[in-house]
Structure 1
Amino acid sequence: MAKITVDGKTIECKDKTNILQACLDAGIEKPYYCYHPGLSVVASCRICLCEVEGVPKLVPSCQTAVRDGMVVHFNSTKAIANQKQVMEYLLINHPLDCPVCDQAGECLLQDYSYEYGRSQSRFEEDKAKKPKKDVGDHVLLYSDRCIMCTRCVRFTREVSGGAELMVEGRGHREEIDIFPGKPLNNKLSGNVVDLCPVGALLDKDFLFQQRVWLLKRTPSISPADAGGENIYLEWNEGKVYRIKPRFNGEVNKWWISDDTRYSYKVLNDERRLRGAMKKELGALTACGMNDAVASAVAGLQDAVGKNGAGSLYAVFSPMMACEEAFLLGRMIRSLDPQATLVLGPIPRTEDEVFKHYITGAETYRIQGEKVPNRRGVERVMQMLGGPMMAWDSFCRGDCRAQSGWIVGGYHSNWLGAEMP
């Protein structure tokens, strides 16, 4: 591995990596806007310019490969002067929207203005005004906040492959826009909001909902399909407000599908069952969870006592965790050793494949199996052994058992009117 010195600190870095990525891998924060490890390098924002000993001018750290023994300076006089100039140019036409901007608190423009910018503006002329644009079902574009890093444009070309976004105009009239009649409505569209380093691209569903510094973050796995996308649930006061991608180079990299991104909405649905219910006198009434479980177990025990072994069933949901499935199976078999185990329906569609707009290489795949843990629950059922039955056979009435425990948990209606 090559060794380089950055501002007096020696770090080891991978061969063929660039200076900026080497610093980030070593935990050294350096300013950048246009660079993203999952996209092509354009070196257009210029705030990452650094001084390399032996090179007569500043070089873009995101585009300059490391070499063993390289000495790099980000805090030299020339590098600091460049950082201040870049920040001043970016803020000339940028509106003072921080108090009402959803990006406030996680905005690189805010952070770098504080760390690398000037304390006050020297610009006295009127700022250029640009319109707000509706570019897709989930995304709004505030053009006057855009710093033209082009991350979003490169993403729609190099990852989602639709090339819906483009750069229009030149100079201070330059804007991001969509091609006429071609909105940003692909299943990866929400990722451009994550990519935007400022508050130009915003999620319609999160708009003005919550301040980001109030949100707590919990790592999780996508419940939307079998792809296993790694995610963060961001919530406050018991309510999930948004889902963000969590990097996993072997699974979803930096991206998630919109199915995953907006899967939290079912949690806030008014129709969602929020507690145990018990039927009394023909009507459902609220009751405690312990009472509900005890009542259900007592009813199952009565059924076994009246009808004998093999009179119970358990319908497992592919939305369950393996641990939940095992505990349910062990419980139902403790009541009836011959209980029938059934795996619930598996909703499927075709896989959605995204390709690079030029090379045609596959860049992302959304799994067509719209449940997260079918294979895990199947393994648990095989481990438990005993009588089992397919869902279709169960629905046809092939199972003689009349009493059982059913687990749903799907994101949409899954029991039709024709179901038993």
Structure 2
Amino acid sequence: MKLRFELAGAVSGIAIVCSAVAAQADVLFWSTQARPAEEAQAMREVVLSGSDIAVDYQPNETGPWLTRLQAESQAGSGTIGLLGSLHGDFAALDPAMLAPLDDLGLAASSETFNELSKLGTDTMKYIPWMQASYVMAANKKALPYLPEGADIDALTYDQLIEWSANVQEGEGRPLFGFPAGPKGLKHRFFQGYLYPSYTDGVVRTFASAEAEAAWEKFLELWEHTNPASTNFSFMQEQLLSDDAWIVFDHTSRLAQAFNERPDDFVAFPAPAGPTGRGFMPVLAGLAIPATAADMESSKAVLDYMMQPETQIATLRATNFFPVVEVELPDDLPPAVQATGAAIATMSAAEDANPGLLPAGLGDQGGEFDRVFVDTFERIVLARQPIRAVLDDQKTRLNDIMQETGAPCWAPDAASEGPCPVE
């Protein structure tokens, strides 16, 4: 099966500090990704083993990663040859710290992502590397209830609501499932899917008239949602138990359902609204510091990382998806095959409108997420007036942005200084 994949994903884990080995390697690969010990080992022994140039792979937490990069940039010379990190980490840098990469001829299929990689300049400052995301999934028993003429790979929110209503009417119970439980990732749906699809923003547009329309639309969907969703956190469980036939969740939280019963379920892109098909890619990329000692060797390793065979090896090592066109092996888990196809279709859609992970919030990230969770609970669960809730929460959100000084991220328009809540 041939699929076109786009961008990149984040992995958490332990920090591994740089050692004297770095000086002996041709290229020091300084990364915030694939940090868990088993993933770092797979990167060294499998993914990078085929490189013609010796590579010292050293993953670190974001703090040490940034500190060393900044020190070398200030010194005007350094030993880091290749950088791997999230879009948000690169976006926080002075673009002059990174070498232009247009001459490599490498790019993602999505023009939106290629534009993001320029970091506001005229040249690509990083190359998309891998991606994780959230998708929709459904029990195949729900497919006969699709609205007439609807394409499951290009649904609108109105069609999703109609589909969920059809299922409820036909089966006698609401079977849309939403991860609204204490450990559910509901805030990511609002930040990366609903808001971009209806407001073309997240922070600037938080209390806009378009945001009111978005919450009204979600209330329509909630009418056909299993009321037990307030206890749902990993939607794979509800798919397997038959408590939900149509769901939204992170790919990793759907994997069990596809791996246990691959013939029973289908994965598909998130729906589109008036301002596009909002979705939240966890973007990561590969870049080269402007201070790299051997620019040609660094570029050769970066090129190697983007080859189809290397991308497949990276998928096996990290469970995050390739960004180039690859022929997927038949022995990959069913969940990878299914959700990977949905991510590829969603990312490459003409109306794709990515809502990136929040960036620059520091220890206020949890408070930022809480704004969206509380807004959901007040509007949807407590049925408080939408406008009153948005006006109230707007003040709280603005305080967070001012305190952190975080600039806007896509799809919000760029800002100088803290992203304004307009």
Both structures adopt the same fold (TM-score exceeding 0.5)? no
Larger radius of gyration: 1
Structure ranking higher on relative contact order (CA contacts 8 Å, 6+ apart): 2
Whichever structure has more strand as a proportion of its residues is 1
TM range (shorter): under 0.3
